[in-house]
Structure formats: C-alpha cells, structure tokens
Chains A and B, each alone.
Chain A
Amino acid sequence: MTINHYHYLRPEINSLLASDELFAKAEQQPTRYSYAEAMLELGEKNPKVVVLDADVSKSIKTNEFADKFPDRSFNFGIAEQNMMAAAAGMATTGLIPYATTYAVFASMRALDMVRNSIHYPKLNVKIAASHGGITPGPDGVTHQGQEDLSIIRAIANSTIIAPADPATTKLAVWAAAEYDGPVYLSFTRDPVPAIFDLNYPFKIGRAVTVRDGSDASIIANRDLVVQALIAAEHLAAKGLNVRVIDCHTLKPLDADVVLAAAAETGAIVTAENNVFYGGLGSAVAEVLVENNPIPMKRIGVRDTFAESGPYLDLLEKYGLSAKHIAAAVEEVIERK
C-alpha cells in the first residue's frame, strides 16, 4: 500500500520498515567497509587515487586497498597530523589522496592541518572519517565523533557528505573523486541497513526525497535516515503522511529542497547523529529563519557526551531513535 510513497528503496526494506525487525533482518554493513570496497574499484579506475592510513586500516578495511595497490597506499602510523599535512602536499602534485582515520582524529586531532593546509588552499584531499556520531558504541566517548560535521562545516571551502547506507556511501566516495577540492566523507562504525539501490541519483549537494509526504518533512543524514524512514512509517499508521529527505550533503546544503519542503509540508524535523549545534539542524534552521520560518525541531545529541553501550541502545538513550523523531514530527505538526 505504501509502496508508491518511497523512492530508490530496496524491495526488502519496503517490507521491513513497518515491522520493527528492520535491524534484525535487513542486510546491513558498517559504511566504513562500504568506503573500503568503493576504494578498491576507484583505485582500479583512477590511478591518481592514493590511500593514506593512520594505523586503523584494519578497522576500516583500507588494508585491502593496500594489498591491491601497495605502491599507492601509505600507512603513517598513529600520526594523524602528519598524515593530513602530507595529504595536502600530495594533492599539490595532482594526486587524489583519501586520508583515512576516525572522525574524532580527522576533525579534531588534525584540525589545524585540515583547515590551514587543506581547506584554505582548497586542495584536492578527501578526508575519509569513520566512527561518525555515537555509532562506535562500546568504545565510548573518546571514539565517538559527534562534533566533526559541525566543526568541518564551519570551515570555508568545505564539502561534507554523510551518506545513509552502503550503496550511497559508494556513490559518495566515487563522486568525491570527480570533485576538485576538499571533501569530508563521514561513515559509521556500526552496521546500518542497506536501504538504497545503486540506481539512487547521487549528486553532491542534491538532497533526495526518498519518501513522499505532505503533513511534515524529516530531513536526515547518515545513520538517522533509516530512523527517519521508520518514524515516517509509524506516523503513517496514525494517518500522518510525512516526507523524508536524505540530505547526504551537509554542505553545500540543498536550500531548494529544504524550502520546497517548508512550503509544501509546513513543518520540518531534522535528524542527525551529531551534536545539534552547527550541523544539519543548524544548517536547515539558518535557511528557514531567513526565508520561511515554519515550525521546526532538531533531533541531535543535546550538549552532552554519550557513553559506552550498544549503538541502538545509545540512539534510544540519547534521543536519536525513530521514536524520538516521530514524537518531534507530531509536535511540529501540532505547532503548524
């Protein structure tokens, strides 16, 4: 019945969305592995692509790139700052380095290099950041990259992509290679369901409506896109028809799609597994407040550090699950 409301979903997902068994039954993968798989193909196609690691290549599986292209793989050891500035240097010579580590270290340990040596000269470095948000559950706070998207967004010349699932992760990794300039790519540590087909129309900066709806819109990124879809399905059971937008590119934000959602649905909830300052919620709010200030609510990590625990339990505890998104949608509809 709901099938026509969705776009680009794999058929399996269509049937599981309403079932409460999505995470138990759907095919899934941590998107860090999807990144590593995409790099094997990219390495084949584009000889300028090189991979830089900082002693987490076995965790992200870029060690497979190293096996396949030993000459184009460089492990710097546990030295993220050196790796980032070296990536900048390599980019000046025409190579396309994918500098790979965890989000906390990519965006914070090496931030000065990322800002001054990569973004200021607008060098063609791709920063591949795994362990986004609180997806690295059990490792705890030091490994949970919940601020990186906000931090990188504040830097001029930045492009940020936080894809929702394995297929769109691959599309993002490949699109980044075609773009001349720094791109920050964000991946999950924990598995997320494979929701989309490879026929998904991926374009940097172009948000995609993946579920039609007219009562309100949920604009989500990375691992909360699937939570948004689950929320919309639950709301459908209550007679609410909610649009879901996969806003994979955080920057540049697709203001056209945001404003169309505002005009056509009249209420917006943003959903991100990231601090709710400076990330997707802030970006959407900035567009709305200057153009069409409709009722809006932000789902995100609320000015707190999380803790060690299973990923899905943490989403519940820190207010990021489908349940919380659905409640926020009902609230904004109420305020219309």
Chain B
Amino acid sequence: MSSKPMSVEELEKMAVIIRCDIIDMICTAAAGHPGGSLSATDVVTALYFRIMRIDPENPDWPDRDRFILSKGHACPVWYAALAERGYFDKSHLKTLRQMGSILQGHPDMRKTPGIDMTTGSLGHGLSAGLGMALSAKLQQKDYHVFVVIGDGESQEGSIWEASMAAPRFKLDNLTAILDYNHLQNDDSVDDIMPIHPVIDKWQAFGWNVIDIDGHDMVQVVQALEEARSHQGAPTIIVANTVKGKGVSYMENVCEWHGKAPCQDEADQALEELRR
C-alpha cells in the first residue's frame, strides 16, 4: 500500500525536488503561478510523504485522507507532489496547461488521478472539505480532510461561512492550513484588504489554532500531527510562509504570483534550489 512515512530530512530533500518540478513545469508551460506554489511546498510535501493515509495505486480508495488545494492556481505544487508520490508518470508534468493534458490550468478531479476536488474559483475548497468531513462523521469513517487556503483567498465571504460551520458541526476531522504569504494578485494582502488579526479571528470562530513557520519542516510535521489528533473542534494551522520561497528573485515579489520564468530564469532558480 503506502510507502514508509519520510523523516524530516527526507521530507526536506523531497521539498527541494518538488520545488524544482514546479519551476520546470511552469517554465515549460510558459504560464502558471510559481509564487503560491513555492510557498505551499513544505506543507504539501509533509502531507503527501508523511501525514496522509493514502494509496497512490488506489486514488479513489474510500477511506483515504482527503486533500484540497482551495487556492487552486497553485496546482503545480499539487501535481508535482502527486507525480513524485507515484499517482501518475512524471512525464505528464511537461504537459501542464496544454490541450488534452491531464494537468489543467486549475485542478480538475475528473482528469487527474489523486485530485480530490476541482478548484480554481477561490473560496470553495474549505466548504467542500467541510462537506467531506461531515460525510465521514455520518458514515463513521476515520479519514481526515486537509485543506490549504490562501491569505488573499481569505477575503472571500465563503471562507468565513465555512469557518463558522465547521466548529458548529464539531469537525475535528477537518484541518485548514492557511498559506500566510502576505501577497495576493494585485499587491500585499495588508494593502489590498487586511485579514489580520487572523489568529484571533479563527479562535473567535471556534477553531483550534496553531501558529508555525511554514517552511520549518519540524514545525510543519508537528502541527499536522497535532491537528490530526485534536478532538472536538477543527484545527487551522497558520503557516507563516514566503511567497516564491527558495528562489531569491521570486521571494516576496508580487509579480511572480502568476508569471512564468523564462529558461534563463528557470536555470538560475534550479541552481539556487539545488544548492
């Protein structure tokens, strides 16, 4: 079934591989969203290679843990993790966004093995995850649902509708991870429409809140394990991250939200990442 959970050191190495895949993929497609893919990489790597109960041979296994990338534009990180985990051949990564590809510009659960929910319109994923978690309770299944949301995405009202509902239904089988990278499409989240104090808000809505450095693999793993075992209420992990993490010229630069690196830029990025 599933392979042995990775150690923190192995996870750190895998995160480098996945970041390289992201750069390669977006460079080849000449379109896509590198910034938010790189900021979410450590969390997604920990989930797929250590935390989640999954079977890449059997992507529709009813008892599997679910993962939803609610900020669907960052799907290159999801595709890379799925490919490295063996859900499909890595050669598909080169077909991102091309006609006929299993790898759409935004995640498509009908085209890509391992994608548990179609996303791309922001603010849907937490509600979808809530639905899956409710089903687990009803059907007495013990799978856990993990949902990554964006900080810009958190401006959508629907995020707060889900935020209100999950504690109401006592969904301790639901974990949200906020990719708190402080940038959105147009500018910084603080300048466009601030969401702070984010910890207070989620606590006030009844969530168990864990505040971590989203690039420290020890903290990421610990937080996810704690979230999984927390009883009585849903958990949100506020993962403080850097948009474009790992590529010097992309880090904290808004323009790299939705821009593809050219070949020279990609080469530099790969060199920095592998260093």
Contact = CB atoms under 8 A, between A and B. Distances in A.
B157 A82 contact: yes
Interface stretch (B78-86, B116-124, B234-242): B116-124
Given A58-B185, A78-B185, A142-B72, 14 more contacts: A55-B184, A59-B258, A75-B193, A76-B155, A78-B123, A104-B121, A138-B97, A139-B105, A139-B120, A140-B97, A140-B105, A140-B106, A140-B120, A142-B120
6 contacts: A55-B184, A55-B192, A56-B185, A78-B155, A139-B120, A143-B105
Nearest to B30: A138
A139 B189 CA distance: 23
Contacts of A55: 152, 155, 184-186, 192
A5 interface: no
B193 A76 contact: yes
A308 interface: yes
B99 A310 contact: yes
Interface string A303-330: 0000111100110010000000000000
Contacts of A310: 99
Contacts of A35: none
A141 B156 contact: no
B29 interface: yes
Nearest to B159: A78
A77 B155 contact: yes
A154 interface: no
B104 interface: yes
B229 to A, nearest CB: 32
Interface string A53-67: 101111100010000
Given A55-B186, A143-B106, A79 B72 contact: no
Interface in B149-184: 152-153, 155-157, 184
A128 to B, nearest CB: 16
A116 B92 CA distance: 45
Interface in B92-125: 97-101, 104-106, 108, 118-123
A56 B153 CA distance: 12
Contact of B186 (A53, A81, A142): A53
Contact of A78 (B72, B104, B106, B152): B152
B199 interface: no
B210 to A, nearest CB: 24
Interface in B24-78: 29, 31, 72
B95 to A, nearest CB: 10
Nearest to B195: A77
Interface string B186-223: 11010011000000000000000000000000000000
B203 to A, nearest CB: 22
Given A143-B106, A308-B98, A310-B99, A138 B193 contact: no
A308 to B, nearest CB: 4
A310 B29 CA distance: 11
Nearest to B121: A142
A268 B156 CA distance: 44
Interface in A101-140: 104-105, 109, 138-140
Given A77-B152, A79-B193, A314 B121 contact: no
A104 B123 CA distance: 14
Interface of A: 53, 55-59, 63, 75-79, 81-82, 104-105, 109, 138-143, 307-310, 313-314, 317
A165 B29 CA distance: 27
Contacts of B192: 55, 75, 77
A289 to B, nearest CB: 36
Contact of B101 (A79, A139, A142, A308): A308
Contact of B99 (A81, A82, A142, A309): A309
B124 to A, nearest CB: 9
A109 B106 contact: no
Contacts of B189: 77
Given A138-B97, A308-B105, A317-B99, A78 B153 contact: yes
Contacts of A104: 121
A76 B153 CA distance: 12
A197 to B, nearest CB: 33
Nearest to A76: B193
A78 B185 CA distance: 9
A314 B105 CA distance: 14
A148 to B, nearest CB: 13
A63 B187 CA distance: 10
A63 B186 contact: yes
Nearest to B152: A78
A308 B99 contact: yes
Contacts of B29: 138
A227 B226 CA distance: 58
Nearest to B119: A142
B108 A140 contact: yes
Given A55-B192, A314-B99, A75 B186 contact: yes
Contacts of B156: 78-79
